[in-house]
Structure 1
């Protein structure tokens, strides 16, 4: 059996305040859909790192049956099941962000 790559899309969302500039990075696909504000570097790698860090924090808290302020996936009863899945997706996003072969510079 061959390697099955997950389906992940990284979206640049235009800023309402600064038209023509990226205001948000969003991810979707074989993982939860999420977004983060665009940092000064304006590169999708930063967006992936921000989202992955938030997911790592949530997975850690959920594995301890704690809530995460500001967002949730599923119900409180789902935390034990979702924590390792979210942690694995966070690790995957971090590996994508770190892999120079996946990115090109203009």
Structure 2
């Protein structure tokens, strides 16, 4: 959903297609500072392109990194009982080559 040009429209479509009482779940990255495995390479590219990773409305991995913004999108799309939960995930690689490739 973070890469969709219009996340609200996408969520509205999801909601329309759910059965009565159905639910939807989304997983997004935290901020670039909290997601170095994704944030550092993107930050380097963003600096080269003179753009901000967190500029509102621009699709990308951090477009919905703020839980309040994500919850607002779900609420605006008509979902009820909206909540978010932060989870930590650890990525482990045997070597730098395994990470890069």
Q: TM-score, with normalisation over the residues of structure 1?
A: 0.30
**Which structure dedicates a bigger proportion of its chain to strand?**
1
Flag the structure with larger Rg. 2
Larger RCO, structures 1/2 (Cα 8 Å, 6+ apart): 2
